[in-house]
Structure 1
Amino acid sequence: MSSHGSSAPRFRRPAPLYDSVAATIPGEPDPATSSDLAHDSARALLDGVFHSSDPEVVERVVTLAEEDGLADLAALWSNAPAATLPGALWRLYVLHTWSQRNADDLLRRYRAGSRTVPGLRYLSGLAEPPDVDEVHRTMDAILRGAFTGDLALALRRAGAVATIVAHGTAHLADEDADDDRTRQAERLLSTGEALTTAGRHAEAGQLD
């Protein structure tokens, strides 16, 4: 996704959580090993943070993907199906990272899309009218809530944000006759639908 500037603060990249795990993998693991590792690491991370009373542990996980951290998560989770725990957490981290680095761009798209699907604004949790600081706070709260509160609700809120932004991106693409934005809108809509579906699975206790 393209950036039109960012007012997001720069964060120090935390140490990767999975050095010891990665060191045990010689070269490219087979698909079965990759799938097991993706699911086991996602569940271990979620359970470990949920049962931790240490605020530094929570903060480390929330900022895990800052700077170059998405590459670490991509190696573990990016190939996981959308309706699985690692697939859902991957999409949640990608959306969060984009919002932190390009909040002004996301905000422009969100404002354009909120007129099309106004009902989703309440689920997203973004105050009206939102600003860049509100985007940062809300997306942090959604990611934090996935690990410390209600995973299903966090995924549904993230799905609502992605869906609204997808509609806004489509509107902007129509205005500018921009094929790249049209493709972005399609990907964002797919992400929103995937997160919403994952939220329903989580609510039913079926997100593995």
Structure 2
Amino acid sequence: MPRDHHRPVHFTDAEFAAIKGGEDPALVNRVAHETANALLHRVRQDPDPAVVERLVTYTDVHGIEAVAELWARVGAHTLPGALWRIYLMRTVIRQNPDEIAYLFTRGTERIGTIDQAVAGAEQPTGPAEILTLADSILHGLYTGDFAVALDRGAAFCRLAAAGATSVADDSDLTAEERASVLTVRAFRLAELAEDLSAAAALWRRDALD
């Protein structure tokens, strides 16, 4: 969890070159943790709506690669790793909201858990509602209960994974290639859900750094 002693982080050109080239894993790890802690601490202390909105839509302007460059190469159960996974989840949703909404809805029909309530998507859940959900979860990281936002992301991923598995099973005999793609997607979404749940638990123990 961000601590009060964090200050804005500044890096030399050489340090950024090392990060980009992946030449120094220790430096990549340090920069990822320091930028994530500094950013989150600063925004959560003073959650200016305009600043939060720019952060939520940052990848729409600069691409997911800009976030990946900083945070994608560290462990899943870390603060930068958790932030990266929520941004990645939002990008996946925005790339194909129609299909993701369908998989999410299929998942809610397939498994009877509290995940639908935890995720907090409006019902019925179409493309517009699933896009709103993605933004709402990311907003929650900066302005709400951080662990709850991670839990919402995990719940969404579990339901979408269940939906992808269900559709893959239906397609197995008639559309083998689509079934294979959906099976891989289900696995990745399920893995993402596990990582986000673990990060939420660590945050609640003040152990997500």
The normalised TM-score by structure 1 is 0.85
Task: Note if contact 2:158-2:189 (Cα within 8 Å) is conserved in structure 1.
Answer: yes
1:135 pairs with 2:126: no
User: Which residue is equivalent to 2:189?
Assistant: 188
User: Which residue is equivalent to 2:27?
Assistant: 33
Aligned-pair CA distance for 1:63: 0.8
Aligned-pair CA distance for 1:128: 2.2
1:158 pairs with 2:158: no
Task: Note if contact 2:103-2:163 (Cα within 8 Å) is conserved in structure 1.
Answer: yes
**Distance in 2, Cα, partners of 1:192 & 1:67:** 26
Structure with greater Cα Rg: 2
Aligned partner of 2:88 among 94, 99, 118: 94
User: Which residue is equivalent to 1:168?
Assistant: 163
**Distance in 2, Cα, partners of 1:201 & 1:185:** 24
User: Which residue is equivalent to 1:115?
Assistant: 109
Aligned partner of 2:53 among 59, 64, 69: 59
User: Which residue is equivalent to 2:205?
Assistant: 204
Residue-pair matches, total:
190
User: Which residue is equivalent to 1:126?
Assistant: 121
Q: Between 96-105 and 183-192, report the one with greater CA deviation.
A: 96-105
| Greater helix proportion | 2
% identical equivalent positions: 34
User: Which residue is equivalent to 1:16?
Assistant: none
Task: Note if contact 2:162-2:186 (Cα within 8 Å) is conserved in structure 1.
Answer: yes
Question: Could you tell me which amino acid in structure 2 is paired with residue 25 of structure 1?
Answer: F
User: Which residue is equivalent to 1:6?
Assistant: none
Q: Flag as ranges the 4+ runs of structure 1 deviating above 3 A.
A: 20-24
Unmatched 5+ stretches in structure 2: 1-9, 173-178
1:103 pairs with 2:97: yes
Aligned-pair CA distance for 1:113: 0.8
Aligned-pair CA distance for 1:66: 1.2
Aligned-pair CA distance for 1:99: 1.5
Aligned-pair CA distance for 1:69: 2.3
Aligned-pair CA distance for 1:67: 4.5
